[in-house]
Amino acid sequence: MTTNPSQVRGMTAAALTKKILGNQPLFILDVRNEADFNDWKIEGKQIQTVNIPYFELLDGVENILDQIPDDREVLVVCAKEGSSIFVAEQLTEQGKVNVSFLNGGMKAWSEHLEPVKVGELKDGGTIYQFVRIGKGCLSYMVISGDEAAIIDAVRMTEVYESFAHDRRVLIKHTIDTHLHADHISGGRKLAESTGASYWLPPKDADEVVFFYHKLGQSSTITVGKSTISIQPVYSPGHTIGSTSLIVDDQYLLTGDSLFVQSIGRPDLAGKAEDWVGDLRNTLYNRYKLLSEDLTVLPAHFGQATELGDGGKVSARLGDLYRMNPGLNIQDEAKFRAAVTESLPPQPNAYEAIRQTNMGKTFPSDEEQREMELGPNRCAIHDK
């Protein structure tokens, strides 16, 4: 079978992100096996996806041509890239135009970060959200004057470094709202490479083997000469140390305690029964004491429908008290059942990820990529 690689184009994860956020129609042919596809796939409001495993296409694509539309762009997707190039070439040879493959496959998709401006802070400061669209992780950069703080950094730390460099700001603080179980934190690595201070809630750090600054309610972290303050609010439940951050009296970074359409799960350290009461107290009492006008900025999103303007994921706290189902379970027993029973599967390799984030294991870059494949699953409701 002859193929001509020049016939097919690759689409980068960045270009695909732009299409999804721009609500452009796209047809995705995902050629991974059915289990991987059902576990995790590319989603968007205008995306239609069909899964036909690669091994069914080894003899050619003639049998599936009628399933491939001619009125839209077609993107072939696989785990790493190789099979999708092969299938895209076959489709092109069979007369399909406008077919491309995803550069780097789902691995590259998992790693793309899209920076989105959230809003202005006083005295000319800015807060950005970094949307890891393929995995659903959200991290933040607070900029004021010539300084920056990064919250819940993911492993691709070079993205934050070049973003800060372009804006001529120095990263002074990296902060984790909790010990993450779904992704490998970039907070410590980023602190080491930039000379920043790394902050972590001490109650999540019992087994942590490296030096960190204790993120507690008495610590106010200041960014820039204009003194944008980051005020921690202890909010246990998802983990026992989980700590939210109020930035510039405007934004509430909730970590994995509260999302836009769901709430955090308490079971990723094996202590759901112990922590469910803390989670209830955080969501139904502690956050209630805060201003309803705070803009909630979570550490994850669960579904493409949560992506707002330009990809931004945010909501007013008062609106979440009306609309988020997890904040509207008045009966305590029902709440307990909702957050401890019928939970979605736990994130892939979550225990190994926790060990890495404690500094106890040192997987290679490639092993870290493998550990992180799949969706984040930090909420009580899966997709």
Q: Does 154 bind Fe ion (CB under 5 A)?
A: no
Which residues belong to the active site? Answer: 78
Size of interface with Fe ion, in residues (CB under 5 A): 2
Non-local CB neighbours of 73 within 8 Å, separated by 6+ positions: 19, 24, 25, 26, 27, 98, 100
CB of 210 to Fe ion, least distance (A): 19
CB of 378 to Fe ion, least distance (A): 4
Q: Which is nearer to Fe ion, 246 or 378 (CB)?
A: 378
Burial, 309: exposed, middle or buried (Cβ in 10 Å; 0-12, 13-18, 19+)?
exposed
Long-range interactions of 278-283: CB distance < 8 A, separation 24+: 278/236, 278/237, 278/240, 279/236, 279/237, 279/238, 279/339, 280/237, 280/332, 280/335, 280/336, 281/236, 281/237, 282/235, 282/236, 282/237, 282/242, 282/257, 283/237, 283/257, 283/258, 283/326, 283/327
Q: Which residues pair with 77 in a beta bridge?
A: 30
Q: Which is nearer to Fe ion, 107 or 178 (CB)?
A: 178
CB of 347 to Fe ion, least distance (A): 8
CB of 320 to Fe ion, least distance (A): 18
CB of 346 to Fe ion, least distance (A): 11
Q: Which is nearer to Fe ion, 16 or 268 (CB)?
A: 268
CB of 177 to Fe ion, least distance (A): 8
Phi, psi of 219 (to 5 degrees): -90, 120
Identify which range of 65-73, 219-227, 256-264, 316-324 contacts Fe ion by CB under 5 A: 256-264
Rounded CA separation 223/271 (Å) = 35
Rounded CA separation 186/192 (Å) = 10
Q: Which residues pair with 175 in a beta bridge?
A: 151, 199
Kindly identify the residues of this chain, within the stretch 66-125, that bind Fe ion according to CB under 5 A. none
Identify which range of 73-81, 249-257, 284-292, 322-330 contacts Fe ion by CB under 5 A: 249-257
Q: Which is nearer to Fe ion, 62 or 351 (CB)?
A: 351
Contact between 360 and 188 (Cβ < 8 Å): no
Tokens at 166, concatenated: 């372009």
Q: Which is nearer to Fe ion, 44 or 237 (CB)?
A: 237
Per-residue binding letters, 210-229, with Fe ion (x by CB under 5 A): --------------------
Q: Which residue is nearest to Fe ion (CB)?
A: 256
Identify which range of 110-118, 188-196, 226-234, 375-383 contacts Fe ion by CB under 5 A: 375-383
CA separation (Å) from 83 to 29, 40, 60, 76, 103? 11, 18, 12, 9, 11
Question: Among 43, 256, 278, 306, which residue interacts with Fe ion (rule: CB under 5 A)?
Answer: 256
Contact between 87 and 68 (Cβ < 8 Å): no
Identify which range of 286-294, 310-318, 333-341, 372-380 contacts Fe ion by CB under 5 A: 372-380
Identify which range of 152-160, 284-292, 310-318, 374-382 contacts Fe ion by CB under 5 A: 374-382
Tokens at 354, concatenated: 């926790």
Question: Among 378, 379, 380, 381, which residue interacts with Fe ion (rule: CB under 5 A)?
Answer: 378
Tokens at 81, concatenated: 């890239």
CA angle 251, 237, 301 (to 5 degrees): 50
Chain residues binding Fe ion by CB under 5 A are 256, 378
